[in-house]
Amino acid sequence: MKTKTGVDPTDLVNPTEVLQFYLKPSGNFPNSDLPSLVYPQAVRLQSDDPASIFEELFELNGWTDSWRNGIYDYHHYHSTAHEVLGIYSGSASVQFGAEGGIVQKVHVGDVIVIPAGVAHKNLGASEDFGVVGAYPEGQQWDLLRGKPGEREKAEANIKRVLLPKRDPVQGEGGVLLRLWN
């Protein structure tokens, strides 16, 4: 299978050790029993439009409805979808799991997979910070901020979120499938 630009996606993916972070519930944030994943330097961005590399790779692996932007500077999470983020420019420090959670520095070429329920927040980024985000095909995201009273409904939603069919970077047989099943 090739991207729209005629590139075999396996030529874009670097072998990398995937970092795993288990984040327990924290106050009004449910977090998840599934690990959050960071794939350092997972994708080679050889293009005048590096964001398009992530968009095509994610779509080929069944992660759709992509967008380009950054990461919100407040704690938030999604109770109806898992999320993948590909860093196409700049760098940032991102906190996962709400206040007191882990802080991870992310750079160009990194990929982050955030299970439904896991809080995340941009603590500070370079001026050129850019992200492509996407969700497993068929999942519609919501945006929750950990407000009092929303957690019970969010936890019910999270239980209904299906596991993705493919790893957003490594496709069939990717590390996400092994760790989340």
- Whether 80 and 139 have beta carbons less than 8 Å apart is answered as yes
In what side-by-side order are the strands of the sheet with 120-125? Answer: 102-107, 91-96, 120-125
**CA angle at residue 101 from 89 to 179, to 5 degrees?**
75
pLDDT of residue 12: 73
- Whether 44 and 79 have beta carbons less than 8 Å apart is answered as no
This model's pTM is above 0.85: yes
Domain made up of 9-165: CATH architecture: Sandwich (2.60)
pLDDT digits (tens, 9 = 90+) for 32-90: 999 999 999 998 887 789 999 999 999 999 999 999 999 999 999 999 999 999 999 99
Mean pLDDT for the stretch of residues 20-32 = 96
pLDDT of residue 17: 87
- Whether 130 and 7 have beta carbons less than 8 Å apart is answered as no
Rg (CA), the chain: 15
